[in-house]
């Protein structure tokens, strides 16, 4: 899709594919009330509580109607709305004379400042928390909730950023693409767009100044928004999307064109995700996120509860492989019963496997539940720990898991130290799976909130690919599988490069599986290696991507 630089805005691509459509701007956020009358303090407090409870209940209901990542994020956002400290602060402000909407607005400020100051994953919650505030403020004022306009035709939704609540309120059948002025490639907007298969470009300067109705062409691979596309460009987008649609329904790949074994698997987070993935042909799961079992709870789920949930997911893939990631709590997924106090930088703190240090019973119960589920299943259960940093941690986790009778034990490679010592890590394990989102963050020391640093989070960064290559070489030498379950696996060109580097399985949002499988089965291992070699020879992310695309011979 060639673009005229004079009429093109650039950002960071996410989601999948391209689209052309008219701009629909998201309704503006709420504003702090000006001179709101105070009224009776008790009445003001009750109005504020009612508004906040209504928002929390609405988010919880939307979570029940959603699937996967969107459902998980809505659940956590509902928890924010019901935070007792926040509720108490609002009541105190109302008692001191603030009107209900003013009390809500001002009570949120210190929470927003704290999240923004923490950086990393937690800072990404700022958009979500602002959305809760704005919705509660408008309810308290008797105004409609801010959010998306009604879409009557396929449109390009443009916003400063989209909260999960905004996304859940969209008529997704009429969302041709999403463009945001803020956010980053690993923001909730980008991740949800990837899950839903919607073209998306984030961090586009000037996007919110586009007039409603203006025709734009959105390219999620190149990260461009072309204004007033000409007939040639519209035809090119239409042709590309027709070609992409034609491969939908392609069975998940099990090998390259010349028979080299490669598995294309699904990333799932809930039973609904697993059922949907299985219904669309997925033969296995490369990443089962287990955090959803722990969200919106005051205490950890019991072994019986967990075993039943895992058993239900495994039942969707008889004879197939299901890779379960143990609890990845901390950072952006704090749990009321396991939150660590006073962490200045939670992304570098007690998260993932490290939670077993202060709370070993959480991991022990989870492994016991997985072992119990395995006994009643025909699926191949593989289990891996997130945030493994050293061979000693790998050995410790392997001993714990095998002590429960689990036979296929691995770890996530998200930390550069694990990639650099992949041989020693793999000596303790049966497999590893690379989480490219976190690997990019930790390799490039780039906060995922800082959209202006989004180029550093690009999975095509040569340093990130070097670490992937090193891990894959260690796996090949040890004769052990090395998978990739980060978002980059859902890019067809990147998928070919990863295979060329030696990766043995690719796990992604089910929406990307058909296109990736089509690319995999259409290329030989030698061609994949040529793509990888071209990528590794480049010196920056843009050059790496362009070299890989050129080696493929155009878009896959």
- In whole angstroms, what is the distance from residue 380 CA to residue 290 CA? 17
Number of Cβ within a 10 Å radius of residue 158: 25
- In whole angstroms, what is the distance from residue 488 CA to residue 132 CA? 31
- In whole angstroms, what is the distance from residue 9 CA to residue 226 CA? 6
User: Which one has a higher pLDDT value, 74 or 108?
Assistant: 108
What per-residue confidence (pLDDT) applies to 149?
Answer: 64
- In whole angstroms, what is the distance from residue 429 CA to residue 422 CA? 10
Nearest to 495 by CA among 185, 319, 234, 286: 286
Q: Report the pLDDT averaged over residues 389-417.
A: 98
Residue 283 has pLDDT above 60, yes or no: yes
Q: Report the pLDDT averaged over residues 34-41.
A: 77
**DSSP SS3 for 105:** helix
- In whole angstroms, what is the distance from residue 398 CA to residue 403 CA? 8
With 0.85 as the threshold, say if the pTM is over it.
no
Number of Cβ within a 10 Å radius of residue 231: 7
Phi-psi region of 387 (alpha: psi -120 to 50; beta: other; left: phi over 0): left
User: Which one has a higher pLDDT value, 67 or 550?
Assistant: 550
Residue 123 has pLDDT above 70, yes or no: no
What per-residue confidence (pLDDT) applies to 69?
Answer: 66
Q: Report the pLDDT averaged over residues 160-183.
A: 84
What per-residue confidence (pLDDT) applies to 124?
Answer: 57
pLDDT band, residue 555 (cuts 50/70/90): very low
Q: CB–CB of 388/415 below 8 Å?
A: yes
User: Which one has a higher pLDDT value, 360 or 61?
Assistant: 360
What per-residue confidence (pLDDT) applies to 183?
Answer: 78
Q: Are strands 200-202 and 12-14 parallel, antiparallel or unpaired?
A: antiparallel
User: Which one has a higher pLDDT value, 258 or 339?
Assistant: 258
Q: CB–CB of 500/469 below 8 Å?
A: no
Domains of the chain (ranges plus CATH)?
5-27+147-246 (3.50.30.10), 41-140 (1.10.274.10), 263-552 (3.20.20.60)
What per-residue confidence (pLDDT) applies to 185?
Answer: 67
pLDDT tens figures, 490-523: 899 999 999 999 999 999 988 889 999 999 999 9
Most confident of 53-67, 131-145, 195-209, 539-553: 539-553
Q: How far is CA 483 from the centre of its chain?
A: 17
Q: How far is CA 175 from the centre of its chain?
A: 19
Instruction: Please state, rounded to an integer, the average pLDDT across all residues of the chain.
Output: 87
Nearest to 114 by CA among 343, 383, 395: 343
Q: What stretches of 1-70 adopt beta strand conformation (E)?
A: 8-10, 12-14, 18-25
Q: What is the gyration radius of the CA atoms in the chain, in angstroms? A: 23
What per-residue confidence (pLDDT) applies to 351?
Answer: 87
Instruction: Mention every residue, 6+ apart, whose C-beta is less than 8 A from residue 129.
Output: 77, 80, 108, 111, 112, 115
Residue 107 has pLDDT above 50, yes or no: yes
Comparing 7-16, 34-43, 391-400, the range with the smallest average pLDDT is 34-43
What per-residue confidence (pLDDT) applies to 165?
Answer: 73
- In whole angstroms, what is the distance from residue 85 CA to residue 111 CA? 10
What per-residue confidence (pLDDT) applies to 449?
Answer: 56
**DSSP SS3 for 321:** strand
pLDDT tens figures, 47-74: 888 888 888 888 888 777 776 666 777 7
Residue 4 has pLDDT above 50, yes or no: no
Residue 506 pairs with which residues in a beta bridge? 264, 484
Residue 387 has pLDDT above 70, yes or no: yes
pLDDT band, residue 1 (cuts 50/70/90): very low
Q: Report the pLDDT averaged over residues 11-33.
A: 84
Q: Report the pLDDT averaged over residues 175-187.
A: 83
- In whole angstroms, what is the distance from residue 12 CA to residue 192 CA? 15
Q: CB–CB of 137/30 below 8 Å?
A: yes
Q: CB–CB of 516/492 below 8 Å?
A: yes
Residue 331 has pLDDT above 60, yes or no: no
pLDDT band, residue 2 (cuts 50/70/90): very low
What per-residue confidence (pLDDT) applies to 5?
Answer: 46
Q: Report the pLDDT averaged over residues 130-156.
A: 81
The CA-based angle 328-312-269, given to 5 degrees, is: 35
Q: Report the pLDDT averaged over residues 40-52.
A: 84
Tell me which residues are annotated as active site.
Answer: 188, 485
Q: CB–CB of 119/345 below 8 Å?
A: yes
User: Which one has a higher pLDDT value, 477 or 26?
Assistant: 477
Number of Cβ within a 10 Å radius of residue 242: 9
Angle formed by the axes of helices 41-65 and 84-95, to 10°? 150
Residue 119 has pLDDT above 60, yes or no: no
Q: How many CA atoms lie within 13 A of 474 on its CB side?
A: 26
Instruction: Mention every residue, 6+ apart, whose C-beta is less than 8 A from residue 215.
Output: 20, 21, 22, 23, 227, 228, 229
pLDDT band, residue 131 (cuts 50/70/90): confident
What per-residue confidence (pLDDT) applies to 485?
Answer: 94
Concatenating the DSSP letter of every residue in 444-477 gives HT--TT-GGGGGGG-TT-HHHHHHHHHHHHHHHH
Instruction: Strand 18-25: give its sheet, edge to edge.
Output: 8-10, 224-227, 215-219, 18-25, 155-159, 175-180, 200-202, 12-14
What per-residue confidence (pLDDT) applies to 334?
Answer: 62
Q: CB–CB of 221/3 below 8 Å?
A: no
Number of Cβ within a 10 Å radius of residue 27: 15
What per-residue confidence (pLDDT) applies to 536?
Answer: 97
- In whole angstroms, what is the distance from residue 180 CA to residue 140 CA? 28
Residue 416 has pLDDT above 90, yes or no: yes
What per-residue confidence (pLDDT) applies to 448?
Answer: 62
Q: Report the pLDDT averaged over residues 38-47.
A: 81
């Amino acid at each position: 899709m060639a673009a005229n630089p004079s009429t093109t805005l650039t950002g960071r691509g996410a989601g999948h594919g391209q689209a052309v459509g008219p701009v629909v701007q998201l309704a503006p956020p709420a504003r702090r009330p000006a001179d709101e009358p105070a009224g009776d303090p008790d009445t003001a407090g009750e109005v504020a509580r009612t508004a906040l409870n209504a928002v929390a209940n609405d988010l919880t209901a939307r979570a029940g109607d959603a699937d996967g990542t969107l459902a998980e994020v809505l659940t956590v956002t509902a928890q924010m709305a019901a935070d007792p400290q926040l509720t108490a602060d609002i009541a105190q402000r109302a008692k001191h004379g603030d009107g209900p909407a003013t009390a809500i607005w001002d009570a949120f400020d210190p929470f927003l400042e704290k999240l923004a100051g923490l950086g990393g994953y937690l800072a990404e919650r700022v958009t979500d928390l602002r959305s809760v505030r704005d919705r509660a403020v408008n309810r308290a004022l008797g105004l409609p909730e801010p959010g998306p306009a009604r879409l009557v035709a396929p449109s390009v939704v443009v916003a400063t950023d989209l909260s999960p609540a905004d996304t859940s309120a969209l008529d997704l059948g009429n969302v041709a693409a999403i463009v945001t002025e803020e956010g980053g490639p690993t923001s909730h907007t980008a991740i949800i767009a990837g899950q839903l298969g919607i073209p998306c470009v984030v961090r586009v300067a000037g996007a919110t100044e586009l007039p409603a109705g203006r025709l734009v062409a959105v390219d999620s691979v190149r990260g461009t928004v072309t204004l007033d596309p000409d007939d040639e460009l519209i035809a090119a987008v239409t042709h590309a999307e027709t070609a992409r649609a034609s491969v939908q329904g392609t069975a998940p790949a099990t090998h390259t064109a010349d028979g080299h074994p490669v598995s294309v698997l699904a990333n799932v987070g809930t039973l609904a995700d697993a059922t949907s993935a299985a219904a669309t042909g997925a033969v296995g799961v490369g990443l089962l996120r287990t955090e959803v079992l722990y969200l919106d709870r005051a205490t950890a789920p019991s072994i019986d509860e967990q075993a039943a949930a895992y058993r239900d997911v495994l039942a969707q893939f008889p004879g197939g492989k299901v890779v379960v990631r143990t609890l990845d709590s901390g950072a952006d997924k704090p749990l009321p019963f396991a939150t660590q106090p006073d962490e200045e930088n939670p992304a570098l703190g007690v998260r993932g496997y490290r939670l077993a240090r202060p709370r070993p019973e959480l991991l022990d119960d989870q492994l016991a539940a997985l072992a119990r589920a395995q006994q009643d299943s025909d699926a191949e259960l593989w289990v891996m720990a997130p945030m493994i940093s050293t061979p000693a941690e790998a050995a410790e986790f392997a001993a714990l898991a095998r002590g429960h009778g689990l036979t296929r034990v691995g770890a996530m490679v998200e930390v550069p130290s694990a990639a650099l010592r992949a041989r020693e890590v793999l000596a303790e394990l049966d497999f590893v799976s690379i989480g490219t989102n976190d690997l990019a963050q930790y390799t490039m020391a780039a906060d995922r909130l800082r959209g202006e640093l989004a180029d550093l989070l690009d999975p095509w960064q040569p340093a990130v690919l070097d670490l992937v290559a090193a891990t894959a070489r260690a796996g090949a030498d040890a004769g052990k599988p090395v998978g990739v379950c980060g978002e980059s696996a859902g890019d067809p060109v990147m998928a070919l490069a990863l295979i060329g580097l030696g990766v043995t399985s690719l796990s992604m949002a089910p929406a990307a599986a058909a296109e990736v499988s089509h690319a995999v089965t259409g290329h030989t291992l030698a061609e994949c290696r040529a793509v990888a070699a071209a990528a590794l020879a480049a010196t920056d992310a843009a050059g790496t991507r362009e070299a890989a695309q050129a080696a493929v011979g155009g878009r896959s």
